[in-house]
Amino acid sequence: MSHLDQGADTAPTDARIHAFDHLRALAMLAGVVFHAALAYSPIMHGFWPTAYRAQSPWIDAVVWFLHLVRMPLFFVVAGYFTASLIARRGWSGLLRQRLRRILVPMLVAWPLVHVATSASTQWALDHVAHPSPFLAMVKAWMAMPDPPGMPPSTGHLWFLYYLLLFTALAWVVHALDWGRWFKRTVRITPMRIALLLPVLAATGFFLTTAPHPAPESLFPQFWALALYGPFFALGALLPDRVDGLLSLRPWLWPGLLACVLAYIAFLMQLDGRDAADWGRTAPWSTALLQAVVAGWGTLAALIAGLRWLNRSNAFMAWLARSSYWTYLLHLPVLFALQYVLLDHALSWPLALLLSCGLTLAICLLSYELLVRRTRLRDWVG
């Protein structure tokens, strides 16, 4: 594993790079905030199940930045740990880990999440006096003599589904020996990564709508593979290139400024779209702006994490270990809480604070009581 510049008071070490665990924990927190905030988003008001009567354009001004960075960052971290695991245990070890830690938890959690979310939604349909537009639409559907059925989907567990797909694709690359050919013929430098990452990600953004949805379909979405594949590949390249990535530190603040400017331009394009444009794929200009934010924002998060978060921290380590459990549990818990809040006329900041805070408290407390000291930690701890 690459050595890191950890400061003058810390000698280089071959120990685990803590920054990747801490970034995973922060990305998990960003995901909870993102899903909680969508209830107060004007853009998502007509589509989100728990959409609240109080909305704010400030939500849309913030949450789509999280949306553009947090999932690419998750895939970079996933690619990094995948490559590290292969280096330690080989492909057989990786496949056993994917079976125990990804496939089995996904298959177990999938019906449980569906049942829990369906139950809370049914409760909201029966009891909420001020339903969201989505709930009103579902109630109208259910009143039909032959109501349409919802297509099966992975729900918010789509990340696990695509992680399995990328693992299979990585095995194909390994079996065909493309990785060795790539290393021999292509010289990867940090600056080339910075320049190419937005270009590669732009294709995925161009093939879907803006803001991009969650690829929840059971059929793999090519746009999602094209969008998140470069970030997973970047993570897989990092175990031998962490020192090189740190050479981009002088680029951090200019790169972050470029992200902010691109994001402002992206928001302006969203604001100027007609109603008919929302169901169409993004134009190239919008796709490129999103790709700049996703690519350079993710690189900025990586560099900042390696610069300031690469030290042992007991709380952050605990939060990182709880992130898998929180990821599985948070959306059903959040929906149940926000359905209850629909009939309470609260300000959106207070409603957001309550729903987000209670969701995190329930997830983290249940991790401590049900997972950390039990056999479940071997599967989702």
Q: What is the number of other CB atoms lying within 10 angstroms of the CB of residue 12? A: 11
Confidence band, pLDDT 50/70/90 cuts, at residue 2: very low
What crossing angle do the helices spanning 222-237 and 190-206 adopt, rounded to 10°? 170
Could you tell me if residue 337 is inside a domain?
yes
How far are the Cα atoms of 29, 109, 372 from residue 380, in angstroms, in the given order? Answer: 17, 11, 9
The predicted pLDDT at position 311 comes to 92
- Residue that wins the pLDDT comparison between 4 and 126: 126
Could you tell me if residue 11 is inside a domain?
no
Residue with tokens 């793999």: 220
What's the domain count of the chain?
A: 1
- The type of residue at 84 is S
Confidence band, pLDDT 50/70/90 cuts, at residue 15: low
Residue with tokens 């695509």: 162
The predicted pLDDT at position 8 comes to 32
Average pLDDT, the chain: 91
Could you tell me if residue 143 is inside a domain?
no
Could you tell me if residue 142 is inside a domain?
no
Q: What are 35-65's pLDDT values in tens digits?
A: 999 999 999 999 999 999 999 999 999 999 9
Could you tell me if residue 3 is inside a domain?
no
- pLDDT exceeds 90 at position 68: yes
Residue 322 CA to residue 364 CA, distance in Å, equals: 7
pLDDT, mean of residues 345-363: 97
pLDDT, mean of residues 360-364: 98
The predicted pLDDT at position 58 comes to 95
The predicted pLDDT at position 276 comes to 64
% of the chain surpassing 70 pLDDT: 93
The predicted pLDDT at position 279 comes to 75
- Residue that wins the pLDDT comparison between 368 and 278: 368
Task: Give this prediction's pTM.
Answer: 0.92
The predicted pLDDT at position 275 comes to 60
The predicted pLDDT at position 7 comes to 38
Longest Cα–Cα distance of the chain, Å, equals: 72
What is the residue range of 299's domain?
Answer: 19-137+150-380
Could you tell me if residue 8 is inside a domain?
no
* Cβ proximity of 155 and 216 under 8 Å: yes
The predicted pLDDT at position 12 comes to 37
Range ranked top by mean pLDDT from 12-26, 108-122, 137-151, 232-246: 108-122
Q: What are 263-310's pLDDT values in tens digits?
A: 999 999 988 777 666 778 889 999 999 999 999 999 999 999 999 999
The predicted pLDDT at position 151 comes to 76
Confidence band, pLDDT 50/70/90 cuts, at residue 180: confident
Could you tell me if residue 14 is inside a domain?
no
Q: What are 165-177's pLDDT values in tens digits?
A: 999 999 999 898 8
- pLDDT exceeds 80 at position 350: yes
- pLDDT exceeds 70 at position 9: no
Closest CA to 25 of 331, 293, 301, 332: 301
327 alpha-carbon distance from chain centroid: 10
The predicted pLDDT at position 273 comes to 74
338: its two tokens: 């926000």
Could you tell me if residue 242 is inside a domain?
yes
